[in-house]
Amino acid sequence: MSSISKHLAAMTLTAFGLAAHADDQPALERWRSYAGVSWEQAPNGADPVAFAGSVKAPIAGIHFDGQGAAYVSTPRLLSDGAPATISRLDTGGRTGPARLTAFPSLRANDITAPVQTSLRNVLGFHVDRRNGWLWALDLGFVAAEQESPPGAQKVLVLDLASGRVVKCIPLDGVADRKASFLNDIAVDEHRRVAYLSDSGLRSAPDNAAGLIVVDFASGRSWRVLDRHPSLMPRPGVQVVAHGRDVWPGHPMMLGINGIALSPDAAVLYWSVTTGTHVYSVPTALLRDPQTGTGAIAAHVRDLGDVGGNTDGIVTDAAGALYITDVTHNGIVRYDPTTAAMARLASSDGVHWPDTVAIHPNGDLVFTASKLDQHFAGAVKNGDERYELWRLPLQRAGQARP
């Protein structure tokens, strides 16, 4: 283990103002644990048969509609064989594999269908409770493809009730078909403006990272803060999970990853996985395509050190920012009113906390699927466990939205 890795693994909460006595931490709950995934329908409530390629179809993203129905992404990064990359999840199932139903249909998720309107490879997506839509950010390429086909990189907006395509916004002009890695999406539901994180992972170590702004009404998109230091992997930082370097000998170089908006959509937040800080910028600057790079960069704020490497982020209705800490297996909370950063909860049972979402009842829910080990090929077929963890924020001293 490198000296940097040892430092990250051993650093104390106090060093970053994150001191919290273990007895004071609210308890994380392993809400659901699935032995793989399945798109089969089993009779009489029996457990369905797991998809044969489950080990290469980990659950990554999760979001809820206004009634609490769950949607998940199974990105086709390890294999293109999964029947769907976006599905509804039956959270009522407590045993066996995750019970999935392709959204909006198997045909809409078919990688042989026209790339401009099919869901090929989705990691980040957003369930829009205001408009009744699902905004899917399609990476474009699937496993084994060296570049995305023309028109495959896109934001596909789907109606939640009918599944019809509301709008397709192509991204070829603002994303690189070889270098881009379209990671996550945050949506201003009132203005119908989306913000996309392009981590540039495929071009690492010289990541072609950037932010992309998408305007639904006009269908226009533009790229900002291209390769800005706040979006790039931080020099000298090694990604550490459960006290070990991730991908020894081939270190993960992942720039901007999680992305979220304040409740009034006036502030955009983002995290950098190969780094330990979170950042923000006023969205008014981003929404004007005429704003110069220098003007935007001058208003980027470093909000401080999370204390570990990060992945997904989300805000609650009160404006608090929740950040997954993959180094310490838990959740860190940032209060924008006091600028206080504090570890809220952690558990040794959590392996790579990924996407984090707020359930309509106010609970915080996140996925944990050992993604780092899956991408390293370290999980054997049949040993995969895809978990949902829950943190009731009311018990954590936060009012439910």
Give DSSP secondary structure letters for 302-364: EEEE-SS-EEEEEE-TT--EEEEETTTTEEEEEETTTTEEEEEEE-TT--SEEEEEE-TTS-E
pTM attached to this predicted model: 0.92
State which H helix or E strand residue 198 sits in.
Answer: strand 193-198
Let me know: does 273 contact 288? Beta carbons within 8 Å.
no
Strand partners, 305: 277
Per-residue pLDDT of the chain (401 residues; tens, 9 = 90+): 444 443 333 333 333 344 343 445 678 999 999 999 999 998 887 999 999 999 999 999 999 999 999 999 999 999 999 999 999 999 999 999 999 999 999 999 999 999 999 999 999 999 999 999 999 999 999 999 999 999 999 999 999 999 999 999 999 999 999 999 999 999 999 999 999 999 999 999 999 999 999 999 999 999 999 999 999 999 999 999 999 999 988 899 999 999 999 999 999 999 999 999 999 999 999 999 999 999 999 999 999 999 999 999 999 999 999 999 999 999 999 999 999 999 999 999 999 999 999 999 999 999 999 999 998 999 999 999 999 999 998 744 444 33
Secondary structure of 90-121 in HEC code, one letter for each residue = CCCCCCCCEEEEECCCCHHHCCCCCCCCCCCC
Q: In what order do the strands lie in the sheet with 37-38?
A: 37-38, 98-102, 86-89, 70-73, 61-64
Q: Is the peptide bond between 401 and the residue preceding it cis, with omega within 30 degrees of 0?
A: no
- Number of Cβ atoms within 10 Å of the Cβ of 31: 16
Tokens of residue 380, six digits: 């054997």
| CATH number at 3-391 | 2.120.10.30
Domain boundaries, the chain: 3-391
Which residues are paired to 198 by β-bridges? Answer: 182, 210
Answer whether the bond into residue 48 is a cis peptide, omega within 30°.
Answer: no
